[in-house]
Structure 1
């Protein structure tokens, strides 16, 4: 998260971003509408929800393994004895003597199998599948949170772009007015041709920056549309709110309070805790391999033979037999398989504990980074406001003196660039403060609101 914030800071600093344009013919999207739409349509989120449904099926399978299994089987054979004069065949309870060279026999069996006890392995597996289901549900929540954060970041970048493009546009208008005045001074003989060329070059440079900003805006708009799974040609108009100083300089929540709240509600933390519980169950399931397995089996079957003098129904009746039995399997030597399984399960448990500690550290680092960045941005905003006012005053004075022929081109362009830089710093600090404060509130459990 800290790296992501740094990347956003770099983008805001280096590029003259986006320009949000309204078109009354298309749907207007607010930040909340963007979030709601993404939570419904995002492909990755839908895939996670499918995984959650699969985990529900795994629970049903694990629960079903606690009950007996029942199956029916039948087999039919044609037997040919070309060189045998007479054969004796046991069919059920019948001993059939036949001189037929080709006979047909069939068997029918109903079988039941039930594992009575296997060291608690099935119960532990059921508990693990339920935990996996809870983890899958938290994965869905984690993806939802990530989507909301990404959309918020892009939306605030667009807000920054909208204001930044206005600064560039007004700067271009000033450059044009200055160049026009320069032409007048050149005609009067008060300005050299080299100085006039500098003013013309400045107009061209400002025009280039404006074109670049509009191109960047189209790229960022495409990124947001892709995040929302919208078609590239679909109309996409954003409703950009007006944000005043109160939104920018609003008091930040306590860093400790945000962290404590996040520890209780963030899905990545809850998922790591459940992974520890799952690893404990894994150890118990692995230890079950050391215990005996007790199984109960039962069957009911009968056979028929074409060589019998009895009809099919009589053969089924007389050949009918039932069986019930219990079996005990005791592991004695398994080539170290059970021991290795237990050791691996314990290592997985240790890994899950370390993963939780790592997630907690990452969460604290993210919140601390957001809080410090928000505080720094607020302080920078206050300083930048003062700088813009002084730069504006200085530029106005130099511009007036230039129009009177008292200042040269270099002095004028220097003051103009200083003013542009101050305005960009102000806008950058403004939206960095808003972004980090908004994400802080989100980590504390609040809905995203600008």
Structure 2
């Protein structure tokens, strides 16, 4: 009985957990935080960062000597020799056996003392690569934040557009119902009634289209968050007032200077220049001599010896230490070509930084101008919307009284719908561009 109760409560907990997840409401902050945790590209970049950390450790380890132990064991068969003589350590061993066994044991060390500073430059390069990998992670995070913000505001725009189309459809239906009364009274023709009925159908189509756009934007957001497309996703859509739309825009040059100092793509390009300088120094190290120190201790054994294994190891023991100096004289232009290619890469990295800086300025300038234009369009759309609403209300009332015809009513209705759409479009364009400007200026994304 207890086992059944445990199974029941476990199943109930699972159901409640799944149900709670399905009913979770997602704010913009929730979406961004989830993407920063689950996005595949970002996770891959973090793995690359971990790899760069290993590369730094490997480069540092190259400063130390290497140590290795080697042993070899051989069985030698001489089928046609009456006897054989071999040298094992310090003794000459003579044997009548056609098959002998010998073993060798050695411990050796190798240490590069100097190679033109190539190892030190490699350490510096790997550290720069690690910093670049960190900046790549930050750049991917910024891209995710920007793209999610754009999608979220597109969803806000689409949602408000749906509400506008719903209101328009309700007005069309009410107008059509009133038109049927006027038609029954003989105040309007059948053609006018049919025209108003067609308008209802058109408004229904516009509503379906706007709802389809809203679903599509939500699907894109799910895909960016790596969520299952079938999962129900309820968004927490904030209400953004006029004050948010018409906020004073930040100074364009101040935003650019802040972005130059903080944006990861700019810092990454600067580090690439530093890396290119180090690459030139590393390539030039090929002109310098290299000095290395080696040492080893070894011994050997043979089963034909009259001495036991310990004695053979003792008498065969020898030590060696050596110093090697390698001076490059002619290497088929490899070093010179490497230096020239490193110089080309340095020049390319300088141009890449200039391109990134120009691209950043263009992006900020475009955002600033788009935000300013959207604010001005919003202010104009507000005035147009008020006049269109007043005009439509008057014509609609006159139509109810039989004083205006169908064409005049539909014209005013379409003017009102156009003004509403222009206003909402300008509203979210202004908010989006202002939000991204603040983000480039180093502020957190907030709606």
* TM bin (shorter chain): over 0.9
CA distance in structure 2 between the aligned counterparts of 1:392 and 1:87, rounded to whole angstroms: 116
Residue among 180, 187, 196 paired with 2:193: 196
CA distance in structure 1 between the aligned counterparts of 2:106 and 2:304, rounded to whole angstroms: 21
260-269 or 222-231, which deviates more: 222-231
CA distance in structure 1 between the aligned counterparts of 2:41 and 2:22, rounded to whole angstroms: 30
Superposition pairs for residues 155-166 of structure 1, below 5 Å? 155-166=152-163
Question: Is 2:437 aligned against 1:440?
Answer: yes
CA distance in structure 1 between the aligned counterparts of 2:433 and 2:209, rounded to whole angstroms: 27
Q: What is aligned with 1:118?
A: 115
CA distance in structure 2 between the aligned counterparts of 1:214 and 1:370, rounded to whole angstroms: 28
TM-score normalised by the chain length of structure 1: 0.93
1:444 is displaced (CA, Å) by: 0.3
Superposition pairs for residues 367-386 of structure 1, below 5 Å? 367-386=364-383
- Runs of 4+ aligned structure 1 residues displaced above 3 Å come to none
Question: Is 2:104 aligned against 1:107?
Answer: yes
Question: Is 2:245 aligned against 1:236?
Answer: no
Q: What is aligned with 1:168?
A: 165
Residue among 37, 42, 50 paired with 1:40: 37
Question: Is 2:53 aligned against 1:56?
Answer: yes
RMSD: 1.2
Q: What is aligned with 1:87?
A: 84
Q: What is aligned with 1:402?
A: 399
1:167 is displaced (CA, Å) by: 0.6
Superposition pairs for residues 32-431 of structure 1, below 5 Å? 32-431=29-428
Please list the CA deviations of residues 364-400 of structure 1 after superposition, one character each: whole Å capped at 9, or x if unmatched.
0000000000001001110000000111111112112
1:52 is displaced (CA, Å) by: 0.4
1:214 is displaced (CA, Å) by: 1.6
221-230 or 285-294, which deviates more: 221-230
CA distance in structure 1 between the aligned counterparts of 2:192 and 2:287, rounded to whole angstroms: 92
Asked if structure 1 preserves the Cα contact closer than 8 Å seen for 2:22 and 2:231, the reply is: no
1:406 is displaced (CA, Å) by: 2.0
For 1:113, what is the secondary structure of its paired residue?
A: strand
CA distance in structure 2 between the aligned counterparts of 1:80 and 1:268, rounded to whole angstroms: 68
Unaligned ranges ≥5, structure 1: 1-22
| Matched positions, count | 428
CA distance in structure 2 between the aligned counterparts of 1:326 and 1:420, rounded to whole angstroms: 89
Please list the CA deviations of residues 40-71 of structure 1 after superposition, one character each: whole Å capped at 9, or x if unmatched.
11111111111100000000000000100000
Q: What is aligned with 1:10?
A: none
For 1:235, what is the secondary structure of its paired residue?
A: coil
Q: What is aligned with 2:13?
A: none
Unaligned ranges ≥5, structure 2: 1-19
CA distance in structure 1 between the aligned counterparts of 2:22 and 2:126, rounded to whole angstroms: 50
1:350 is displaced (CA, Å) by: 0.3
356-365 or 150-159, which deviates more: 150-159
CA distance in structure 2 between the aligned counterparts of 1:373 and 1:432, rounded to whole angstroms: 8
Q: What is aligned with 1:8?
A: none
Please list the CA deviations of residues 200-259 of structure 1 after superposition, one character each: whole Å capped at 9, or x if unmatched.
111011111111222222221111112112222333211111111111101000001100
CA distance in structure 1 between the aligned counterparts of 2:246 and 2:210, rounded to whole angstroms: 28
Give the 3 Å change call, closer, same or farther, for CA 84–25 of structure 1 in structure 2.
Answer: closer
